[in-house]
């Protein structure tokens, strides 16, 4: 166990969230475990999600998929950020489904030789103007897909976390048309998927054959402002981040704190030096957030450093050097949440949990 900082991951919370999301969707569920499972741990989370009812795993990179296979996971895996020039053969040999969004990539995948036929999902751009076929969609013909097995077709919502946004309906309409085009080529037994966490929670009409759930699986809201908090959505946050107070000391009023002396103590107080910094994923720009100790909040004072930051514990605090403090968690009592930290950093909860660095060990609770 670390003597400095740790991220405690509640796998039972992830299992509970997966079961809820699958029941809400009423269809198959792909557990999105890219980016080390949003910082929660790729293999433990993948195994938990599958045990809880997920049928598929989704990753960004082929390397992530290979790691899952090396861990003994045999469930279907889709890797969707696989540009031309990638090692497509290793993916095919390892039974990894590949997302294809250009004719160039389609031709390269189709040229893979061996005992296994490449399995692909065609990614289509329905209005996000990010990944996916757009102008080239009308250029695909039979010879482009003769060497592959078309398993699915998918797209991605840009504003599913804003219910009622016209763009959502526009994207859904475009997706249906592109699916119809593919089906007209004779590909009728395909998996259609477009729903992310937000759409899964609020738009059952977009569920199709499978939903892809990322952030909600980890118990966090896709958008606190538009959809409400984790508690509002009956989701259980899985990660609790805590750290030790490397040092607690009394300082007088008027003491400058940290690089640049950007803040000065307003009164005699106790300061706590928290043994985490931006090298561990704590945002340097975070303001109006901090830690909790014994149910009381202690805000950051001064700038976050590479390995540490300072909090104002208050003159009456009983905290001592070596005590554990909560950086963020489920928000019980006065505890800060990943939502709080995201807002305090001009960002979102996704970034906060994903950026917690490898120096911080993950401790798993079943």
Measured in residues, the chain has a length of 366
Tell me: the pLDDT tens digits for 30-74? Answer: 999 999 999 999 999 999 999 999 999 999 999 999 999 999 999
Question: How many Cα atoms within 13 Å fall on the side-chain side of residue 167?
Answer: 12
Q: Is residue 224 part of a domain?
A: no
Q: What is the pLDDT of residue 23?
A: 98
> Rounded to 5, what percent of the chain is helix, strand, coil?
30, 25, 45
Q: Is 107 exposed, middle or buried (0-12, 13-18, 19+ CB in 10 A)?
A: middle
Range of the domain at 155: 11-218
Cα 121 to Cα 150: distance, rounded to the nearest angstrom: 6
> How much is the average pLDDT of 134-144?
91
Catalytic residues: 34, 259
CATH of the domain at 359: 2.40.37.10
Neighbours of 41 (CB within 10 A): 23
The reply to whether 191 and 285 lie within a common domain is: no
Segment 196-226, tens digit of pLDDT? 999 999 999 999 999 999 999 999 999 999 9
Dihedral sign from CA coordinates of 205, 100, 54, 209: positive
Residues 249 and 132 in one domain: no
Task: State pLDDT tens for residues 274-307.
Answer: 999 999 999 999 999 999 999 999 999 999 999 9
pTM over 0.85: yes
Instruction: Specify the number of domains making up the chain.
Output: 2
Q: Residue 2: its pLDDT value, please?
A: 57
State the number of CA atoms in the 13 A half-sphere of 29 facing the CB: 29
Q: For the segment 69-125, what is each residue's pLDDT rounded down to a tens digit? A: 999 999 999 999 999 999 999 999 999 999 999 999 999 999 999 999 999 999 999
């Amino acid at each position: 166990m670390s003597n400095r900082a740790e991220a405690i991951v509640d796998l039972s919370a992830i299992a509970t969230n997966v079961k809820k999301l699958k029941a809400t969707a009423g269809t198959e569920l792909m557990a999105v475990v890219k980016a080390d499972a949003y910082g929660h741990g790729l293999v433990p989370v993948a195994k938990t999600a599958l045990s809880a009812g997920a049928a598929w795993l989704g990753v960004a990179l082929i390397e992530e998929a290979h790691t899952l296979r090396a861990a003994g996971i045999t469930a279907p895996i889709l890797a969707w950020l696989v540009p031309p020039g990638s090692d497509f053969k290793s993916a095919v040999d390892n039974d990894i489904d590949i997302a294809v969004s250009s004719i160039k990539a389609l031709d390269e995948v189709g040229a893979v030789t061996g005992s296994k036929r490449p399995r692909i999902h065609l990614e289509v751009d329905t209005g996000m103007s990010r990944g996916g076929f757009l102008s080239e969609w009308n250029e695909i013909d039979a010879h482009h897909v003769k060497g592959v097995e078309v398993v699915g077709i998918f797209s991605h919502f840009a504003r599913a976390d804003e219910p009622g946004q016209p763009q959502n309906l526009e994207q859904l309409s475009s997706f249906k048309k592109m699916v119809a085009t593919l089906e007209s080529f004779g590909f009728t037994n395909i998996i259609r998927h477009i729903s992310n966490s937000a759409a899964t929670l609020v738009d059952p009409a977009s569920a199709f054959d499978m939903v892809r759930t990322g952030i909600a699986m980890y118990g966090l809201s896709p958008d606190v402002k538009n959809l409400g908090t984790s508690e509002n959505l009956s989701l259980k946050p899985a990660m609790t981040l805590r750290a030790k107070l490397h040092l607690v000391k009394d300082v007088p009023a008027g003491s400058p704190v940290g690089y640049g002396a950007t803040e000065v103590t307003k009164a005699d107080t106790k300061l706590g030096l928290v043994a985490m910094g931006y090298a561990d994923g704590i945002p340097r720009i975070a303001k109006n957030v901090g830690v909790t100790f014994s149910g009381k909040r202690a805000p950051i004072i001064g700038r976050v450093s590479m390995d540490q930051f300072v909090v104002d514990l208050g003159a009456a605090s009983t905290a001592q050097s070596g005590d554990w403090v909560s950086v963020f968690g489920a928000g019980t009592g006065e505890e800060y949440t990943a939502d709080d930290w995201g807002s305090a950093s001009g960002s979102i909860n996704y970034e906060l949990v994903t950026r917690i660095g490898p120096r911080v060990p993950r401790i798993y609770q079943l």
